[in-house]
Amino acid sequence: MRVTLTAIKADIGSIGGHIRPSASLLKEVERSLQPHLGSDFIDFRLSYTGDDIAILMTHTHGTDNPLIHQIAWDAFKAAADVAKKEGLYGAGQDLLKDAFSGNIRGLGPGIAEMEFEERKSEPFLLFAADKTDPGAFNLPLYLAFCDPMYCSGLLLSPNMFKGFKFEIMDVSYTEGDKVIALFAPEELYDIAALLRDPERYVVKAVYSRTTGEIAAVASTTRLHNIAGKYVGKDDPILLVRAQGSFPATGEILEPYALVPYVGGFMRGSHQGPLMPVKRNSSVSFFDGPPIVSCTAYCVKDGKLSEEADAFDHPFWDYVREIASKKAIELRRQGFYGNAMLPYGELEYGGIVERLKALEGKFEIRH
Ligand code: 13P
Ligand code: 13P
Ligand code: MG
Ligand code: MG
Ligand code: MG
């Protein structure tokens, strides 16, 4: 059957700063979704990563469906009211617009959706990150879909020999979606040339060149483009299909052992290592470090299997230690140089006023 996976996430308030949502917020989202189960959608799951709640829904309405988007929007709205009542921090933070007008894109929440014909077995992964932006998935996706050093299937599995198509978005463009399609392996250097700049170019989707099927889709919301000022980090989500003509689950996961430095961390203004964490983890040190969770599922006739927590394994305890070391190492230099993001990323925040005031005090000397 043709199924649609819709993953939508939002920060609607959290306990004690930007740490994690309260149990009552999650309960309210669930209460709001429950009446639609079995009628408007087939199945759903809830989870949180840091202070962001992710809703995963399965249904047959295709992508960009107004009803599905409305259901998620209403659930977040209802929970934001609970957050306000509880006095949680940043209540309704990612709900940037008041009114819903048919599509949740452009309203604040991050969304990743894909529609496909279910395979006999349909394993897929839901990644959710906090204290970082959509570019955080650039390197892991590049390595999993382009690099035989990470994806052995590119050498070993004939149904991957043709490679993958990348859709990459220029998120600095605000008039609409500015997207380029590039083909791996022939255009590998072009793909790398764009993905090296994760604040500007982000992977939107990946497709198999063997079957034409969608392999991965990420949320590309840049909140500061919508709000025009700093309103928290984008905290992206990503859906990836695994096995068969796609990389194996373990090949998709391997790049996360690199714990690359990504933009985000405290006040969304720093660099920090992307730490793979267990589901429903909070953040802590310097409002971070940036974290990513991964839940694995199979879907059959739209029904979701029990979930497997992909980063809940002794191997990743060791990786988390490496991430902690990398975080402490970079934090030692505080505001200096690469520890903080370049001005282009900070210009939506308060530093603009400080620098403007200083500009008037400069004098030109000859
Ligand atoms: P299993 O024999 O455990 O199914 O492993 C197959 C495989 O290809 C793992 O990548
Ligand atoms: P969030 O986007 O996760 O709310 O992060 C905001 C922040 O500024 C943390 O210091
Ligand atoms: Mg927050
Ligand atoms: Mg967040
Ligand atoms: Mg955020």
One-character DSSP codes across 190-234: HHHHHHT-TTTEEEEEEEETTT--EEEEE----HHHHHSS--S--
Distance between CA 263 and CA 229 in Å, rounded?
17
> Ligand 3 mean position to 54 CA, how many Å?
14
pLDDT of 315: 98
pLDDT above 90 for 344:
no
**Is 43 one of the annotated binding-site residues?**
no
> Ligand 4 mean position to 65 CA, how many Å?
25
Q: How far is CA 169 from CA 10, 182, 201, in A?
A: 21, 11, 5
pLDDT of 337: 96
**Is 332 one of the annotated binding-site residues?**
no
Euclidean distance between the first and final Cα of the chain, in Å?
75
11 is known as an active-site residue: yes
List pLDDT tens digits, range 284-304: 999 999 999 999 999 999 999
**Is 11 one of the annotated binding-site residues?**
yes
Mean pLDDT across the chain: 97
List pLDDT tens digits, range 104-155: 999 999 999 999 999 999 999 999 999 999 999 999 999 999 999 999 999 9
What is the band of 348 on the pLDDT scale with cuts at 50, 70, 90? confident
Distance between CA 50 and CA 285 in Å, rounded?
12
pLDDT above 90 for 269:
yes
The residue among 180 and 348 whose pLDDT is bigger is 180
Residue 131 in contact with ligand 2 by CB distance below 6 A = yes
Domain boundaries, the chain: 2-357
User: What is the percent of the chain with per-residue pLDDT over 90, rounded to a whole number?
Assistant: 93
Check if the beta carbon of residue 169 is closer than 8 Å to that of residue 177.
yes
The identity of residue 203, as a single letter, is V
Residue 26 in contact with ligand 1 by CB distance below 6 A = no
Look up residue 355 and give its two tokens: 């620098």
ipTM of the complex: 0.91
List pLDDT tens digits, range 54-104: 999 999 999 999 999 999 999 999 999 999 999 999 999 999 999 999 999
Of the candidates 11, 43, 133, 147, the residue annotated as catalytic is 11
HEC letters along 69-123: HHHHHHHHHHHHHHHHHHCCECCCCCCCCCCCCCCCCCCCCEEEEEEEECCCCCE
pLDDT of 35: 98
What region does 194 belong to: left with phi over 0, alpha with psi -120 to 50, or beta?
alpha
The residue among 227 and 325 whose pLDDT is bigger is 325
Q: Does the predicted TM-score (pTM) go above 0.90? A: yes
